[in-house]
Amino acid sequence: MRQLKAIILAAGEGSRMKSKKPKVLHEILNKSMVDYVIETAKGCGAEEVCVVVGHKAEEVKAGIRAEGISFALQAEQKGTGHAVMMAGDFIDESSDMLILYGDTPLITGETLTKLVEVHRTEGHSVTVVSSKIEDPTGYGRIMRDDHGGFERIVEHKDATDTQRMINEINTGIYIFNGRELKESLGKLNNNNAQGEYYLTDCLELILKAGGKVEAVVAKDADEFFGVNSRVQLAEAAKIMKHRINRKHMESGVTLVDPENTYIGSDVKIGMDTVILPGCVLEGNTEIGEDCEIGPNSRLTDTKLGNGVKFQTSTAIESEIGNETTVGPFAYIRPNCHIGNRVKVGDFVEVKNSTIGDGTKIGANVVIGGWTTIGKRCEIYPNASIGLEPQDLKFKGEKSYCNIGDETVIREFVTISRATGEGEETRV
Ligand code: UD1
Ligand code: MG
């Protein structure tokens, strides 16, 4: 089978975002728009992905989280055709080339997979996705002949008033035969209203050279929604949120108020877990079965076991065991390993620490340093453990605090004596 490679255009400035940050790095549910597009391209079978960068190129390259991506530089933005020319070395004559924009994060893998299938079974030189929309202002229009066959794409700025009446538009998603794409790029010119090299002109050039070009009308216009402003970013986020939330509800998770629940696309949630309103679940967070999360909680890159109650609290890059209860108002900072059936009370802060099974931590306790607390301990309210606030000598060093199993810390105490790793702090 022919190889599929993807080029993602992301060199434009995106001035309407009014932002210091490049447009394609703006995030929807904690993931950049361009990262969504890269994942989708890979998901539909693209073996290699090249992102064309230009405006703030280094920042875009550094901001992309996906791995194994190659980049092409378009130093000056002279149009979409010019952008693809800059990725010339990446275009493989014997491959199919998928071309996508970095600012259309809602495109799905299923749609692209179908597109690749049509392109291949029908033996097209180019397959472009079109869409019929109410207000086509600004888009390129699809011109068809009397028999409905594809003729060419006319950009809005170059279109006559009659052409502007056409409501079938170019979504900007294409699959090209690599060889024909290369040949047509060589023939492009910039004789148009914008003085740009239009990728859309390649389609007409390929048709004239005897190729088979087809515009496939997409059903779900949402998928091709391009983000140009913060208002559109919010609209796209709403659609994405709806999709993700629906998927979880369909697989057995209760979202009490889906409109007010924000779940990242990589988050996993077990059956019969209930998410109360106002939760933000992001990154590689994994939640087990029968948990109750929220209201108003944030979990970032955190793993929860089964039957956890996590109430009005925050946890970052940590692990929390089965049937543990957290909060309200607890703050679990990075690198905590909290065991099974632990009780983390209200206003507790824990950082870089391990807490054994069955331990109870009362209100207002602060646990820091590299503290290990054993199993079935009882820490009464207001204790400070593993901290070295007054002892500057430990500044920047790890201070270990190791509390054995079944220790009871009854009164208000500050345990700040640092010991060696593995040594036990006596109380
Ligand atoms: C393009 C299409 C238009 C289509 C519309 C769909 C062309 C000529 N027109 O128009 O038919 O209806 O998309 O949204 O292709 N980019 C670069 N380098 C450049 C110019 C653009 O990388 O020199 C990137 C942008 O960052 C963006 C994408 O290409 O991700 C599209 O560019 P944009 O200027 O938005 O094209 P449109 O005018 O919207
Ligand atoms: Mg655009």
Give, using CA atoms, the residue closest to atom 25 of ligand 1.
Answer: 12
- CB of residue 318 inside a 6 A radius of ligand 1: no
Residue that has been written with the tokens 């929390």 in this structure: 320
Structural contact between residues 158 and 141, judged by C-beta atoms closer than 8 angstroms: no
Proximal ligand: closest to the CA of 224: 1
**What pLDDT is stored for residue 282 in this prediction?**
97
Nearest in space to 5 (alpha carbons), one of 140, 148, 179, 158: 179
Pocket test for ligand 1, best of 101, 106, 167, 203 (most atoms within 8 A of CB): 101
Structural contact between residues 129 and 174, judged by C-beta atoms closer than 8 angstroms: yes
Please say if the pLDDT value at position 391 is more than 50.
Answer: no
Nearest in space to 399 (alpha carbons), one of 374, 422, 372, 420: 420
What span, in angstroms and rounded, lies between the C-alpha atoms of 168 and 189?
25
What span, in angstroms and rounded, lies between the C-alpha atoms of 232 and 10?
17
Proximal ligand: closest to the CA of 81: 1
Question: Residue 401: how many CA atoms within 13 Å on its side-chain side?
Answer: 25
> Ligand 2 centre and the CA of 387: distance in Å?
53
Secondary structure element (H or E) that encloses residue 117, with its range: helix 109-121
- Report, as an integer, the average pLDDT of 404-412: 84
**What average pLDDT does the structure give for the chain?**
93
- Report, as an integer, the average pLDDT of 42-56: 96
For the annotated catalytic residues, the residue numbers are 16
- CB of residue 9 inside a 6 A radius of ligand 1: yes
- Report, as an integer, the average pLDDT of 386-408: 67
Pocket test for ligand 1, best of 80, 154, 201 (most atoms within 8 A of CB): 80
Collapse the DSSP code of 53 into the 3-class scheme (helix H, G, I; strand E, B; otherwise coil) and give the result: strand
Give, using CA atoms, the residue closest to atom 35 of ligand 1.
Answer: 12
Please say if the pLDDT value at position 411 is more than 80.
Answer: no
The two beta strands, 168-177 and 96-101, are antiparallel
Please say if the pLDDT value at position 427 is more than 80.
Answer: no
Q: How far is CA 284 from CA 132, 287, 317, in A?
A: 37, 10, 9
Please say if the pLDDT value at position 390 is more than 60.
Answer: no
First CA to last CA distance, the chain:
69
**Other CB atoms within 10 Å distance of the CB of residue 138:** 11
Confidence class of residue 412 from pLDDT cuts 50, 70 and 90?
low
Q: What is the pLDDT of residues 335-346, one digit of tens each?
A: 999 999 999 999
Structural contact between residues 91 and 99, judged by C-beta atoms closer than 8 angstroms: no
pTM of structure: 0.91
- CB of residue 211 inside a 6 A radius of ligand 1: no
> Ligand 2 centre and the CA of 57: distance in Å?
18
What span, in angstroms and rounded, lies between the C-alpha atoms of 99 and 50?
10
Q: What is the pLDDT of residues 194-253, one digit of tens each?
A: 999 999 999 999 999 999 999 999 988 889 989 999 999 999 999 999 999 999 999 999
- Report, as an integer, the average pLDDT of 271-285: 98
Please say if the pLDDT value at position 284 is more than 80.
Answer: yes
Give, using CA atoms, the residue closest to atom 37 of ligand 1.
Answer: 139
Determine whether 46 is exposed, middle or buried from the number of CB atoms within 10 Å of its CB (0-12, 13-18, 19+): buried
Q: What is the pLDDT of residues 301-327, one digit of tens each?
A: 999 999 999 999 999 999 999 999 999
